[in-house]
Structure 1
Amino acid sequence: MAGASPCVKYSMFVFNFVFLLCGILILSIAIWIRASKDGQGAVNSGDNGANSHSSVNMLIAVGAITVVMSFLACYGALKENRCMLLLFFIGLFPILLMQLTAGILAAKFKPEAERALKATLRESAQLLSQTNEEGRKFQKTMVTFQKEFKCCGLISGAADWGSNFEEAYESCKCSNPSDSCITYTGRNVYKQTCEPVIRASVSNHLDVVIGLSFGLAAVEVLGMVFSMILICQIEKR
């Protein structure tokens, strides 16, 4: 008897090849978010940070598993291997649950994570005017951040630096006077503080987690449908 429909078989292959690319994408972005310095404030902020951490770690696991499963599905579709396709279908179900859980966790704790981050940044602003080892370490990081994102201070702008302003001035310096500059102790510095920049970056990272979670969940449902159709056709031959 004839094998599975070539249309379904190659559609399944193409679908899972795209799914493989999606798995690589989610794995790459999740690792990027996990390692991003901008996002550390959110994922390290108390209990809410632990939940955000869990969401990203879950996405890393899902991405890795998805890559392996998609490869098996591509091979199973080309070779019309019922065992591999069934394994793909069964394995996709817990991945779907994990994907939805990660998205729900990220969506649920996003407002709390943002509030915790805001509170953490207000506490961190006090380190800018200190002279101890902890303060110096944080100040070094802030100087680099200010240069890159053209902002100054965290909450109150250049005033956050206190007596340390002279050391941080070059990173706060606004070369071309405009609406983006203000005067502090007779010098032009960036009007924009770094707090909204950091908060926007963290919020964007969380949005990526949420979008990937629910977007790939829809793709996974289609994968299960394709695999079941192909399994049924193979059984009938």
Structure 2
Amino acid sequence: MGRVNVWLKRSYVITSSLIAIISTLLLGLTVFSHGALHKDEEIEEMLTGLHGMYAVSLIPLLLSIIGLYGVCKQKKWALIVFAVGFIVGILFLTFCGIQALVELPEMAEHVETKFQSYVPLSDANDRISNAINEFQTQYQCCGLGQGYRDWGQQFPNSCLCTEESTSPCELAPWSGSLTLRGTVKPIRIYKESCLPHLIAYHAVAMNYLLGMALGIALLWLLPVVLCILILCRLNQKEKTQTVVYSPEAMSGNYITLLDAADTT
């Protein structure tokens, strides 16, 4: 079994420890998010994402611990488990990234179908209505595909144009069923709907997720390369000094360089 270069070993320990720390923080964030959302009405739709976050945080943490044990104790099986586990993880992230890129053009249709299921927005739950209100205020838009009509018979104040508004506004057509807190005067509301902004927002979020997946894959790749180098070094046999028999050594053929009596 060969000796491992000290800098190679330190580099592997540092990168593996960094992955373990990041995985621990991500695991804590996942547990906190799960606890905060466990009473949400749509928790069933979020379970798949939460389970994925548990896997992405817990599995690398366990593999990092096994890898650190392997390099400290020079256990080949532990290093092999570390390398194989992270290679499988890198391939999985690569597959997910390619699949997300393929399905990216279909995301607009999925987002539109999802949000149209909340119409009329006035009947949506508080979490959805509050989120859409905040989105309308931020992007200066109103409603989804059909503007203020998506709110039913009463739209919120977030649809109203203000003096500082930069988005185009229009005069809301009056009808007996359209009211705003009992007001009967002309109302100016945002002309643009929020659906294009929602689609663009989700596209940006998807790009961020793909970037994070690529960054995680590159971060995982470095310790895998170091681990393979360590395994190759451990598999090398150390060269031992060959002992050659010499008859002169047994015959006592030595020369005294300096007599001890001459030095006194």
Q: Indicate the structure with greater helix content.
A: 1
Residue 151 of structure 2 corresponds to residue 180 of structure 1? no
Q: How many Å apart are 1:108 and its aligned residue?
A: 1.6
The separation in 2 between residues aligned to 1:83 and 1:154, in whole angstroms, is 56
The separation in 2 between residues aligned to 1:32 and 1:24, in whole angstroms, is 12
Is the CA contact 2:27–2:53 (under 8 Å) kept in the aligned structure 1?
A: yes
Structure 2 spans left out of the alignment, 5+ residues: 173-185, 239-264
Is the CA contact 1:122–1:154 (under 8 Å) kept in the aligned structure 2?
A: yes
Is the CA contact 1:127–1:139 (under 8 Å) kept in the aligned structure 2?
A: no
Is the CA contact 1:20–1:70 (under 8 Å) kept in the aligned structure 2?
A: yes
Structure 1 range deviating more: 8-17 or 145-154: 145-154
Structure 1 range deviating more: 65-74 or 4-13: 65-74
Is the CA contact 1:180–1:190 (under 8 Å) kept in the aligned structure 2?
A: yes
Is the CA contact 1:17–1:70 (under 8 Å) kept in the aligned structure 2?
A: yes
Q: Residue type of the partner of 1:137?
A: A
Instruction: Quote the residue 2:257 is aligned against.
Output: none
Aligned positions, number: 215
Residue 55 of structure 2 corresponds to residue 61 of structure 1? yes
Structure 1 spans left out of the alignment, 5+ residues: 45-52, 129-134
Structure 1 range deviating more: 106-115 or 184-193: 184-193
Instruction: Quote the residue 1:161 is aligned against.
Output: 151
Distance 1:206 1:140, change over 3 A: closer
The separation in 2 between residues aligned to 1:72 and 1:127, in whole angstroms, is 53
The separation in 2 between residues aligned to 1:211 and 1:31, in whole angstroms, is 23
Q: Residue type of the partner of 1:171?
A: S
Is the CA contact 1:182–1:190 (under 8 Å) kept in the aligned structure 2?
A: yes
Tell me the SS of whatever aligns to 2:169: strand
Q: How many Å apart are 1:137 and its aligned residue?
A: 2.6
Q: Give 1:1-237 correspondences, 5 Å limit.
A: 3-23=3-23, 58=52, 60-122=54-116, 124=118, 126-128=119-121, 136-138=123-125, 141-147=128-134, 149-150=136-137, 151-165=141-155, 168=156, 170-180=157-167, 182-185=169-172, 186-236=186-236
Larger Rg: 2
Distance 1:201 1:178, change over 3 A: closer
Q: Residue type of the partner of 1:15?
A: T
Q: How many Å apart are 1:4 and its aligned residue?
A: 1.5
TM-score by length of 1: 0.70
Q: Residue type of the partner of 1:217?
A: A
Question: Alpha-carbon deviations, 1:19-56, whole Å to 9, x = none?
Answer: 334545776888999999xxxx9xx7xxxxxxxx9788
Distance 1:103 1:145, change over 3 A: same
The separation in 1 between residues aligned to 2:80 and 2:168, in whole angstroms, is 62
Is the CA contact 1:99–1:213 (under 8 Å) kept in the aligned structure 2?
A: yes
Tell me the SS of whatever aligns to 1:189: strand
The separation in 1 between residues aligned to 2:30 and 2:96, in whole angstroms, is 11
Is the CA contact 2:136–2:159 (under 8 Å) kept in the aligned structure 1?
A: no
Is the CA contact 2:2–2:234 (under 8 Å) kept in the aligned structure 1?
A: no
Structure 1 range deviating more: 87-96 or 193-202: 193-202
The separation in 1 between residues aligned to 2:135 and 2:107, in whole angstroms, is 24
Structure 1 range deviating more: 53-62 or 145-154: 53-62
Is the CA contact 1:146–1:194 (under 8 Å) kept in the aligned structure 2?
A: no
Question: Alpha-carbon deviations, 1:201-220, whole Å to 9, x = none?
Answer: 32233223322333333333
Q: How many Å apart are 1:99 and its aligned residue?
A: 1.6
Tell me the SS of whatever aligns to 2:212: helix
Tell me the SS of whatever aligns to 1:179: coil
Tell me the SS of whatever aligns to 1:164: coil
TM-score by length of 2: 0.64
